[in-house]
């Protein structure tokens, strides 16, 4: 199998580029902890309200500038909604769905996760800039999907 | 069989092939492809019109009534364009090519393709009726636990089995040809067809298991369903399908376009290697649709980054091959200097212009694909309009414009008519309108997606939220693009049916380019499809055994059906 010299160069550059993508992604994931939300805990989707911690959804202070938000998603709202936290807080969202698949996207941040019935999803974000952040469901969930939103106010 | 008998058979076989090539397609094979094309372009017409409604709605210019709501329209748009248009076009196109390169379809194969045709049509009716009744507004990805009417899933199952009939028909025809032509390579076009049908069959096994489960679940025979497993099975098919369209498109880039511009095609061996690589590496690529899903570890997602990026490699080989052929042909035609050869290419020929723009579109489309498959970058754009912009560039432009370009010789070829200079002009105008429409629409979608605007959502300001209101100016371009695109659809559908029934009679050739010369002999190992399928299955096992077993063994209690629309 004979290859054109230029093609060899082109393919070496192409392969090199793909390797660089892998290296950067791997470094960010495993060294900097920037990997995508991938929590593996499960829950009975028909017993969410009776199962801790989702029997008591809310915003909880867990340390200096650290918060935990225990959140349930269902058609067509986030519980709790209208979250308020101080600037500079690191917030861990612990979420599950009580019905169909929902999305959890906080605009102007990289928070973006699928929230599924039967699975507990976790994502962490530090809010350094004050302001009102739009939270929306980005997985089609039914007739009122376009209304499923809330806000996080950082002040 | 003694040697004279073999010889006789060989002579008979090659005579049949030669006569086929000289006389054009037989009437029965032509009718088959014509029927497939008719369905494909009717699907384009309806699906395109629905697309316009969505664009107008999303821009806030139109309020759809509750009896014909946004999500119903979106479901139908997806099913008609993503499943019907592409499947019918791909099968019609490859069957015409198999008929041409293998000396006609075998009678039993033609029969299988017809059975497949009617199964798909019946399946389509089964799927569409519940959509119209608003009993299946689950979008074409139909993620459980949203539960559509069982008849919707039955329709999907029939469509898949119909596709399998065509896949096996193609295998039978190619196997027969190989038997009659010992020691010869599978003709390059049939080689592409083999790759496509292998992927169509093996790639759809997972989704078939999912759909059968959903049928039982939606009828109530099974109380709950494993949500994440269903999603994983869906995407094992979803991304393979994307690459089936892509492979169909590049079959034209490698084999057809060089002939149209008066050149020869790229190295036969390397072309075959690209097809083999695409087939082997494809199916596990689907995981990149689940990068922000729970229930899968970051380690698993990282390993799958390799699976997804490896599909990019044969595409980068293709990029080289296309430009190589263009430059070589342009120089042969007298092009001078670094870029002079570009001027020698037949830009005024729609059979070249449409696929050429398709290829150019694939440069940003492929780059965007590589970016958004890289885990953390995916998180930035997942389920935003960026993704919709991406696939309107890949499927909506790279693949569909290639299909349009093909139609300007394929429809005359099967109809025993010719492409007139006037129709060529119509095609050029159509191509330009389509390109502009996609530029507006896909460009705006990419941009507003980066700003955070979600996909698959009807017009909303989230209670006059300032951030969401800031997206509105960009969303207007969806309506502008959609309006241009529907004009493109109307012209294209007119062109197809005009060429099928009204264009002047005459002979049109099926343009297959000769390989480069002096051509090094293509090694026989390239034809070992049994081996490639085994390697493909090994790669699929590497990608899927661990996560699928994990999803089954460590599954949470399942979900009952929900109807939330």
**Which residue has 């055994």 as its token pair?**
B545
What is the distance in angstroms between the Cα of B517 and the nearest Cα belonging to chain A? Answer: 13
What is the rounded CA–CA span in Å between residue B282 and residue B199?
8
Residues in chain B within 8 Å Cβ distance of A115: 294
Contact B460 A15 (CB under 8 A): no
A36 phi and psi angles, rounded to 5 deg: -70, 155
The domain over range A45-154 is classified in CATH as 2.60.40.420: yes
Residues in chain B within 8 Å Cβ distance of A121: 294
Residues in chain B within 8 Å Cβ distance of A138: 382-384, 454-457
Which residues in chain B show pLDDT less than 70?
A: 1-23, 518-519
Q: Which among B387, B454, B558 is the top mutation candidate for probing chain A, defined by the most A β-carbons within 10 Å of its own β-carbon?
A: B454
Q: Interface pTM (ipTM) of the complex?
A: 0.94
Stretch A16-40: mean pLDDT: 93
What pLDDT is attached to residue B286?
86
Closest CA in chain B for residue A4: B267
Q: Assess B63–A contact: CB distance below 8 Å, yes or no.
A: no
Contact A45 B559 (CB under 8 A): yes
Q: Which among A73, A97, A100, A131 is the top mutation candidate for probing chain B, defined by the most B β-carbons within 10 Å of its own β-carbon?
A: A100
Hey, what are B86's tokens?
């592409």
What pLDDT is attached to residue B15?
57
- Closest CA relative to residue B43, chosen from B5, B79, B1, B95: B79
Q: Which among A27, A117, A151 is the top mutation candidate for probing chain B, defined by the most B β-carbons within 10 Å of its own β-carbon?
A: A117
Using CB atoms, pick whichever of B69, B305, B380 lies closest to residue A22.
Answer: B305
SS3 A52: coil
What pLDDT is attached to residue B421?
96
Tell me the pLDDT tens digit for each residue of A126-135: 999 999 999 9
Contact A107 B380 (CB under 8 A): no
What pLDDT is attached to residue B1?
43
Q: Where are the domains of chain A?
A: 1-35, 45-154
Using CB atoms, pick whichever of B302, B380, B556 lies closest to residue A42.
Answer: B556
Q: Are B394 and B365 in contact (CB under 8 A)?
A: yes
Closest CA in chain A for residue B143: A101
Hey, what are B561's tokens?
């059906």
Q: Are A119 and A51 in contact (CB under 8 A)?
A: no
Tell me the pLDDT tens digit for each residue of B472-492: 999 999 999 999 999 999 999
CB neighbour burial string for B342-367, b if at least 16 within 10 angstroms, e if fewer: eebbeeebbbbbbbbbbbebbebbbe
Residues in chain B within 8 Å Cβ distance of A34: 376
- Closest CA relative to residue B451, chosen from A92, A153, A136, A103: A136
| All structural domains of chain B | 8-458+474-515+537-553 (1.20.210.10)
Q: Assess B75–A contact: CB distance below 8 Å, yes or no.
A: no
pTM: 0.94
What pLDDT is attached to residue A3?
80
What pLDDT is attached to residue A70?
97
Hey, what are B307's tokens?
């699976």
- Indicate if the alpha-carbon torsion angle B164, B78, B387, A136 is positive or negative: negative
Contact B313 A18 (CB under 8 A): yes
Tell me how many helices (H) and strands (E) chain A has. 1, 10
Contact B146 A10 (CB under 8 A): no
Contact A100 B562 (CB under 8 A): yes
Q: Assess B370–A contact: CB distance below 8 Å, yes or no.
A: yes
Q: Assess B320–A contact: CB distance below 8 Å, yes or no.
A: yes
What is the distance in angstroms between the Cα of A63 and the nearest Cα belonging to chain B? Answer: 26
Alpha helices in A31-154 (DSSP H): none
What is the rounded CA–CA span in Å between residue B201 and residue B158?
14
Contact B557 A46 (CB under 8 A): yes
pLDDT value at A67 more than 70: yes
What pLDDT is attached to residue B516?
81
Tell me how many helices (H) and strands (E) chain B has. 21, 0
Closest CA in chain A for residue B309: A18
């Amino acid at each position: 199998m004979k290859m054109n010299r230029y093609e060899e160069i082109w393919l070496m550059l192409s392969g090199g580029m793909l390797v660089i993508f892998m290296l950067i992604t791997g470094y960010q994931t495993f060294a900097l902890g920037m990997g995508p939300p991938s929590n593996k805990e499960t829950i009975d989707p028909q017993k969410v309200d009776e199962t801790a911690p989702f029997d008591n959804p809310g915003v909880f202070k867990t340390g200096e500038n650290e918060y935990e938000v225990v959140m349930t998603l269902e058609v067509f709202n986030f519980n709790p909604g209208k979250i308020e936290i101080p600037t500079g807080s690191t917030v861990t969202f612990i979420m599950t769905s009580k019905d169909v698949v929902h999305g959890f996207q906080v605009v102007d941040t990289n928070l973006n996760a699928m929230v599924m019935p039967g699975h507990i999803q976790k994502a962490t974000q530090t809010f350094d800039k004050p302001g009102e952040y739009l939270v929306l469901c980005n997985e089609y969930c039914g007739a009122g999907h376009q209304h499923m939103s809330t806000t996080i106010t950082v002040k | 069989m003694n040697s004279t008998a073999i010889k006789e058979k060989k002579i008979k076989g090659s005579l049949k092939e030669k006569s086929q090539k000289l006389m054009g397609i037989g009437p029965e094979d032509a009718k088959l492809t014509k029927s497939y094309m008719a369905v494909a372009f009717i699907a384009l017409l309806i699906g395109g019109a629905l697309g316009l409604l969505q664009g107008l709605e999303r821009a806030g210019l139109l309020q759809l009534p509750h009896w014909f709501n946004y999500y119903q329209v979106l479901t139908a748009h997806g099913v008609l364009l993503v499943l019907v248009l592409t499947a019918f076009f791909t099968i019609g196109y490859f069957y015409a090519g198999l008929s041409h390169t293998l000396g006609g379809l075998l009678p039993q194969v033609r029969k299988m393709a017809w059975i497949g045709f009617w199964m798909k049509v019946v399946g389509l009716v089964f799927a569409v009726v519940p959509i119209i009744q608003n009993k299946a507004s689950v979008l074409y990805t139909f993620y459980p636990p949203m539960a559509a009417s069982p008849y919707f899933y039955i329709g999907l199952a029939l469509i898949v089995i119909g596709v399998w009939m065509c896949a096996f028909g193609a295998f039978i025809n190619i196997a027969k040809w190989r038997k009659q032509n010992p020691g010869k390579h599978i003709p390059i076009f049939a080689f592409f067809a083999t790759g496509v049908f292998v992927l169509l069959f093996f790639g759809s096994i997972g989704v078939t298991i999912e759909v059968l489960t959903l049928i039982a679940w939606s009828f109530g025979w099974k109380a709950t369903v494993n949500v994440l497993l269903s999603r994983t099975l869906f995407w094992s098919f979803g991304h393979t399908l994307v690459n089936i369209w892509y492979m169909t498109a590049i079959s034209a880039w490698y084999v057809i376009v060089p002939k149209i511009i008066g050149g020869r095609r790229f190295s036969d061996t390397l072309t075959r290697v690209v097809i083999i690589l695409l087939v082997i590496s494809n199916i596990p690529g689907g995981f990149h649709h689940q990068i922000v899903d729970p229930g899968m570890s970051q380690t698993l997602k990282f390993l799958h980054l390799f699976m997804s990026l490896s599909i990019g490699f044969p595409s980068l080989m293709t990029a080289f091959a296309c430009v190589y052929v263009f430059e070589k042909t342009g120089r042969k035609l007298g092009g001078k200097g670094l870029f002079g050869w570009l001027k020698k290419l037949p830009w005024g020929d729609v059979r070249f212009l449409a696929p050429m723009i398709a290829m150019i579109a694939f440069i940003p489309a492929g780059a965007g694909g590589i970016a958004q498959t890289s885990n953390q970058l995916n998180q930035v754009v997942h389920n935003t309009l960026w993704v919709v912009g991406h696939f309107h560039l890949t499927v909506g432009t790279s693949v569909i414009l290639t299909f349009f370009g093909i139609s300007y010789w394929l429809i005359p070829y099967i109809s025993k008519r010719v492409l007139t200079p006037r129709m060529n002009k119509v095609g050029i105008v159509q191509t330009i309108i389509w390109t502009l429409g996609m530029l507006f629409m896909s460009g705006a979608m990419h941009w507003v997606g980066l700003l955070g605007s979600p996909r698959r959502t009807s017009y909303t300001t989230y209670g006059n939220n300032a951030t969401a209101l800031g997206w509105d100016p960009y969303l207007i371009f969806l309506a502008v693009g959609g309006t241009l695109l529907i004009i493109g659809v109307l012209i294209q559908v007119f062109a197809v049916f005009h060429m099928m029934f009204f264009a002047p009679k005459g002979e049109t050739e099926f343009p297959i380019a000769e390989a480069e010369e002096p051509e090094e002999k293509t090694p026989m190992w390239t034809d070992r499809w049994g081996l490639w399928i085994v390697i493909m299955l090994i790669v699929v096992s590497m990608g899927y055994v661990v996560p699928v077993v994990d999803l089954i063994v460590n599954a949470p209690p399942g979900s009952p059906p929900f109807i939330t629309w």
